[in-house]
Amino acid sequence: MHKVSKEILLEQLKSWKTDIEEEWRDMKNSRFRLRAWNKKKKKWENPTGIALDIETGMPWWTEGGEMMEEAKDVILMQCTDIVDRKGREIFEGDIVKVPIEFNEEDGISPTELVEVIARVAYRPGSFYIDLPSRRLEVTSSCEVIGNIYDGIKKER
């Protein structure tokens, strides 16, 4: 059996730690960004990631690399990586105004462009705008006007 010196192991651990820190830095600038609503405290938290408790199997949210609370009390919402027409990031759970075209199939004639209010939702594989009659793709033509926890913000 081949023995590895303590110095080599420590160097390898340091290298892995550096790799993980770089991955987290990259992740902050990537598509995987979160926000979290704490159901117990009724306030927004600032998660930077998710961790799994190996003993219980329960997910925890992390902030700055520290495990904070079990995720059972926190609703995590992912960023769509799309900005609205005013430059704000669009997240799952946002309430948006979105222009859509109605036509004869919708009982409106002639074709009419109307702004409707709907929420942004996520199902594995895609974000969408949830309307009673259809699902729409999330695009930058939307305007975030609130979210499902704070409600609709008044226009300024």
Q: State pLDDT tens for residues 60-102.
A: 767 766 666 666 777 888 899 899 999 999 999 999 998 887 7
- pTM as predicted: 0.68
| Residue with the two structure tokens 């919402």 | 77
Top mean pLDDT of 41-50, 62-71, 127-136 is at 127-136
Looking at residue 78, its pLDDT comes to 87
Count CB-CB contacts under 10 A for residue 59.
15
- Residue 155 structure tokens: 């226009």
Which residues 6+ apart lie within 8 Å of 142 measured at CB?
82, 84, 85, 90, 96, 97, 98, 120, 129
How many Å apart are CA 134 and CA 136, to the nearest integer? 7
Is it the case that residue 103 has pLDDT exceeding 60?
Answer: yes
Instruction: Tell me the pLDDT band of 46, cut-offs 50, 70 and 90.
Output: confident
77 φ, ψ (degrees, to nearest 5): -125, 130
15-19, 35-39, 98-102, 147-151, range with the lowest pLDDT? 15-19
Output the average pLDDT for the chain: 77
How many Å apart are CA 62 and CA 69, to the nearest integer? 8
Looking at residue 144, its pLDDT comes to 95
Amino acid code (one letter) for 58: M
